[in-house]
Structure 1
């Protein structure tokens, strides 16, 4: 027998196509969910867009089944869609959750359907873990084995941030293979087959260490050559090479720069905790590639406008003045690259801005923008850096990447464990989604930076706090 799936508001506002993701089953949307979606439809952001998209989808179904409005709408996959009006009763949950809140009304709908249809499995789908906790408690209290709650799983491609593809794998191998790699400057992956316990993709890095306990080691990048994967040494970056005054402080930073400087790698995704050098190295590589190598005509740096903690509200001034607080982390990194003393640079500016940085940005043909202004553009021959990409939805990432014109390179950097977006977590955000969906493509490079190089204090904060 098919199941009944009750969708919470946050599921539809995260993915309005969720209505069609439960093939062969019945989808129920409580009336209170429709009310909550209606309250969001005028927002000029991703949440508002998804609210309006839900309205358009319902309109299409309504027009198709206008003679059957009193019945659940049939869906193409064989199930139905129903706006539920008749389950406002709190009788079965009032002894546990007495407050007349929207969450409890959604919970009441799910419980009442489970009681009325005991032979069918009823599933409440939500991205609100506390609502799921309430559901779990009610399942035990009511002894209703046909009722359960679950997270929205359709865009959750990994179980946790720890299992995101990291782009670098350590192998314990025979010393003879390491010698061969150093001598031949290449090694077919077929030679490493017996040591590989994981899937390896083009642009992945392999750190080879001797399985005899000796200090022999080697590092290489996987290349796709005539339909086979071959491990080759680094080509674009050496340990002692400086890129705009910076050089890699660890092997992972060297891997990151190798991907950033390779023109054949059209998109790079870097994840790592605070202080690992993601944004700073990306900016240094961008300046090197545009100013020194002339591979790109312009650098564009953007960040999503998502506050950490309570929003401070509207900011005064023109667009650039409003954006300045959000873009300040970018300016901090640029001050380091340009060897600018931040205090001396800002003390004469009444707003505390960095006039020299702004002058440098103008001279270098660099653009620092909020992602709000990137939609609808076509961007050829540019080096684009998207900072804090973990705060993007999968739709927003798709929108950004689809802006890339011919000859453009896109770099997504972020930390999936530092989510400020109210509808995202470490697994279902746009950065994680992009990595997992595109990790097999040879134009995509992925690396996880593990070691914090900002300071000893920053390393301990990132690890233990």
Structure 2
């Protein structure tokens, strides 16, 4: 039986690449997912290939991704068999292998009675983990139920997150426009009447703003709109402009 741990290569710093076992829904969600695991190795259970075969007909996104993945795998193998260690996915990437499938360990056969694709995929992931004790192995799936089953079986499991934006990278919509009041007359004068209609950002902000940060500035009855121009490194006035006879009704 093939052991991925013996693959004759190392990742960055001499570390052994991780092994990720992919569920069908990862490929149906993004058929290029196999190219998004850096230099780590991938295992595709045969149950996944069988499920993809059921989805490949049609014109919807699932069918497109199923066909796209199979074409990609065909190009990657280029007539070669997967062999003991799989085949390279591409430059700077790991190897990929289609695994024929394995039963659950004797200690777990009483946990999963039904012979369904999810259970066969999980059993393969557990087999890969048990046969590669010196490498990190995880099942990757977007199926919450399968993730719960994997956790119950003590299998490391992860969601596919490359299509998500980290929360700390999302700008709070409430802060897209910052409201400033009590601004100094000098700042108002510079924005409204100076030749450049701009001021140094330090006059309005304690920290350097992000590019195109918007401001609504009030001082008494005066209200101005401005934005941070990263190229000029200054906060500049946003002027009301007419376009094809259309003018804004308010600021």
* TM norm structure 2: 0.73
Please name the residue that 1:194 is paired with.
206
Q: 2:166 matched to 1:152? A: no
Q: Does the 8 Å contact 2:224/2:237 carry over to 1?
A: no
Q: 1:56 to 1:50 in 2, by over 3 A?
A: same
Please name the residue that 1:121 is paired with.
136
Q: 2:30 matched to 1:25? A: no
Residues 122-160 of structure 1 show CA distances to partners (whole Å, capped at 9, x for unaligned) of 111122233223322322xxxxxxx42112122323238
Please name the residue that 1:205 is paired with.
214
SS in 1 for 2:52: helix
Following superposition, the deviation at residue 102 of structure 1 comes to: 1.9
Please name the residue that 1:220 is paired with.
226
Please name the residue that 2:240 is paired with.
235
Following superposition, the deviation at residue 215 of structure 1 comes to: 9.1
Following superposition, the deviation at residue 5 of structure 1 comes to: 0.4
Following superposition, the deviation at residue 110 of structure 1 comes to: 1.2
Please name the residue that 2:83 is paired with.
70
SS in 1 for 2:44: strand
Following superposition, the deviation at residue 40 of structure 1 comes to: 1.2
Give the Cα–Cα distance (whole angstroms) in 2 for the partners of residues 121 and 5 of structure 1: 8
The structure 2 residue matched to 1:110, chosen from 121, 125, 129, is 125
Please name the residue that 1:364 is paired with.
none
Give the Cα–Cα distance (whole angstroms) in 2 for the partners of residues 8 and 164 of structure 1: 32
Please name the residue that 2:151 is paired with.
136
Structure 2: gaps of 5 or more residues: 1-15
* TM norm structure 1: 0.42
SS in 2 for 1:13: helix
| Counterparts of residues 160-179 of structure 1 (less than 5 Å) | 163-164=170-171, 166=173, 168-170=176-178, 175-176=183-184, 179=188
Give the Cα–Cα distance (whole angstroms) in 1 for the partners of residues 221 and 114 of structure 2: 65
Please name the residue that 2:94 is paired with.
79
Following superposition, the deviation at residue 236 of structure 1 comes to: 4.1
Q: 2:18 matched to 1:13? A: no
Following superposition, the deviation at residue 218 of structure 1 comes to: 4.5
Q: Does the 8 Å contact 2:31/2:66 carry over to 1?
A: yes
| Counterparts of residues 253-272 of structure 1 (less than 5 Å) | none
Give the Cα–Cα distance (whole angstroms) in 2 for the partners of residues 96 and 209 of structure 1: 66
When Rg is computed on C-alpha atoms for both structures, the one with the higher figure is 2
Following superposition, the deviation at residue 183 of structure 1 comes to: 4.7
SS in 2 for 1:16: coil
Q: Does the 8 Å contact 1:126/1:151 carry over to 2?
A: yes
Q: 1:69 to 1:163 in 2, by over 3 A?
A: closer
Q: Does the 8 Å contact 1:186/1:233 carry over to 2?
A: no
Q: Does the 8 Å contact 1:178/1:216 carry over to 2?
A: no
Give the Cα–Cα distance (whole angstroms) in 2 for the partners of residues 137 and 178 of structure 1: 62
Q: Which protein is richer in helix relative to its size?
A: 1
Q: Does the 8 Å contact 1:93/1:108 carry over to 2?
A: no
Give the Cα–Cα distance (whole angstroms) in 1 for the partners of residues 171 and 159 of structure 2: 18
The structure 1 residue matched to 2:73, chosen from 58, 61, 68, is 58
